[in-house]
Amino acid sequence: MKNKWMACLAFAAVIYTCSAGVVFAGTGGGSGISENGMNQALLERGYTKDTVQALSDSDRRELYNVVRKGGRVEISTIAKEIDNLSEMENILKKSRKELKKMGCTDAEITREKKAVRKICRSSRKTLKGKYKLDDTEIRFIKELDASVLGALKSADERDEKEIRQPVQASGSIASTQMKYTQAVADKSRKKPDYHVVLSYKLRYPFQLGLFSDKIAAAWGGGLNTSKEKGRASYSLTNGTRGGWKKSKIKYRKMSVNAVPNRGIKFAFPQAFGKGANVYKTKSGSASFNLYQHGKKRKDTKIVSYYCHRSVKMGNSGISITAGGAGVNLCPGKAWSKTKQRRTTISYS
């Protein structure tokens, strides 16, 4: 009888819960849970199968731990399409001098112009088969070929001598699809304490890779930041609109520019490399903590954008203003941005 009683105690000491890949032991920080288990918990809170894969391991675990302890995690995702045909048109029409003023290097300009010219010179069969373009998109490509490239004396003529002729606008025909997610995990008790994760996932590569993109966030209430970090992932493409190669993923740390008590900006290149080995960004995750030492008393907002730098003239700044509960985040016209994500938080 004594042995049976001891066995029952031993069984009760460790409880395992298993469901849809979730495996965790007790409540000791969630250290025993699998990645699939954490993903499943976040899928139930609003992530999707593709967006959850954009999270870094540390951000995935941080969000999961808040969920596991019964905390609130508010997740907001928006889809965005980038009109690559307009980008192709713009890079062909702009001179090398204009592009260098926008921050591009000679090597980047040569690489991207050469790639766009190759597409424009392709046959209709190649555009439909290799590049997966539909009839309407092919028509615009051929208009670019005739009106811009057709005006050049030779393919290697200096950009400053290019004859620019108007091209019919490509409208909203988009070939890059992406999703951007803002997640805010509330770890507060009496004092404001939040973990913010801003992530993106591309279904198709950007056609061009001349600039750096940014993720920008701002908030009211004068909250402080800590543990700011970000990482972007990159992959080779197969040179077509929809193709990622099955290659080794490479990572780059995002640069961080914090505006004390008001906002933060993370920057990362759209692409890097040369020749056949150009890696383009595929996903990324940036995160930071927001906190204050006083008790929670008032509400404010945290807002954010994914900002894609496009080939067009305009202000490339991103202004952040905040005062009291009020907050304003305003990217310049050089950016193609997602719709703003907003989450209510508290401050002291």
Q: What spatial distance separates the first Cα and last Cα of the chain, rounded to whole Å? A: 58
Considering the domain delimited by 179-347, tell me its CATH architecture: Sandwich (2.60)
Per-residue pLDDT at 71 exceeds 60? yes
pLDDT at position 239 is 60
Q: How many residues does the chain have?
A: 348
pTM of the prediction? 0.82
pLDDT at position 304 is 98
The span from the CA of 23 to the CA of 34, in Å, is 6
Of residues 102 and 287, the one with the higher pLDDT is 287
- Does residue 112 contact residue 91 with C-beta atoms inside 8 Å? yes
The span from the CA of 305 to the CA of 320, in Å, is 12
Question: What does DSSP say about strands 72-82 and 341-347: parallel, antiparallel, or unpaired?
Answer: unpaired
pLDDT at position 177 is 85
Mean pLDDT throughout 171-183? Answer: 72
pLDDT at position 327 is 94
**Among candidates 132, 125, 155, which has minimal Cα distance to 237?**
132
Angle at 231 between CA 340 and CA 189, to 5 degrees: 65
Residue with tokens 């001179």: 95
Q: Is 89 strand, coil or helix?
A: helix
Per-residue pLDDT at 274 exceeds 90? no
Q: Where are the domains of the chain?
A: 2-75, 84-161, 179-347
The H or E element containing residue 115 is helix 106-120
Give the pLDDT band (50/70/90) at residue 92: confident
Q: Residue 30 — left, alpha, or beta (φ > 0 → left; ψ -120 to 50 → alpha)? A: left
Give the pLDDT band (50/70/90) at residue 241: low
The span from the CA of 147 to the CA of 269, in Å, is 31
Mean pLDDT throughout 256-270? Answer: 96
pLDDT at position 7 is 43
Residue 244 CA, distance from chain mean position:
16
Q: Which residues are CB-neighbours of 63 under 8 A, at least 6 positions away?
A: 38, 42, 55, 73, 183, 185, 195, 197
Residue-wise pLDDT for 3-40, tens only, equals 443 444 333 332 222 222 232 223 334 457 899 999 99
Mean pLDDT throughout 192-218? Answer: 93
